[in-house]
Amino acid sequence: MQHDGRSGAVGETGPAVLVGAGLSALLAVSGLWQVTERSAPRVLLLIPVCLLFTTAALTLREAAHQRHRERTWELISQMRPLALDGLGLSAALEDLARHTGDAGELDIRVQVPLLPRLPADAEAMIYRIVPEALTNAARHPGAHKVEVELHVDGADLDIVIQDEGPARPAGSRPAMD
């Protein structure tokens, strides 16, 4: 079983299973003592009690880690590139393309209409998509020219990024690097 960071799983078993196992052990030990009519050796009671305390500690630790992961993702999603605030999306993309083209052998053309302010998360997402696409284009053998276009149609925004690298045959999958 893999732990995806979102469930309450601790290792192979979840906290609820461990709590249930601890309670079952405690009930079994006390039931055994009642059936045998002997006085309960207190040392044996420590085993299920320790299991319960350990489970509680693991559960609290996992909850703290989960809160930390959620807060980290929240902070990451709130991070906004400074260029967007200073330049706006259109100019920020042009600046990004200019710096990316200067760093490599790509001639990058950006055709972005003057856009109204979009929701902050949409602008940030677009600003993160474009450099990834430019990096992919730079990996294509024979690609020297890349065009980045944004098209606005009512409430729809399309991002088109094309390079002149060799096209793959229809239905083929890209090679993994």
- Output the pLDDT for position 6: 46
What pLDDT sits at residue 4? 47
Q: How confident is the model at residue 109 (pLDDT cuts 50, 70, 90)?
A: confident
66, pLDDT greater than 50: yes
- Per residue in 72-95, pLDDT (tens digit) is 878 876 777 888 888 888 888 888
Reply yes or no on whether the pLDDT at 169 is more than 60.
Answer: no
Cα–Cα distance, 86 to 80 (Å, whole number)? 11
Characterize the bridge pairing of strands 107-111 and 156-163.
unpaired
Backbone angles phi, psi at 166, to 5 degrees: -65, 140
Q: What average pLDDT does range 53-72 have in this prediction?
A: 87
For the chain, the distance separating the N- and C-terminal CA atoms, rounded to the nearest angstrom, is: 28
Closest CA to 134 of 168, 169, 99, 158: 99
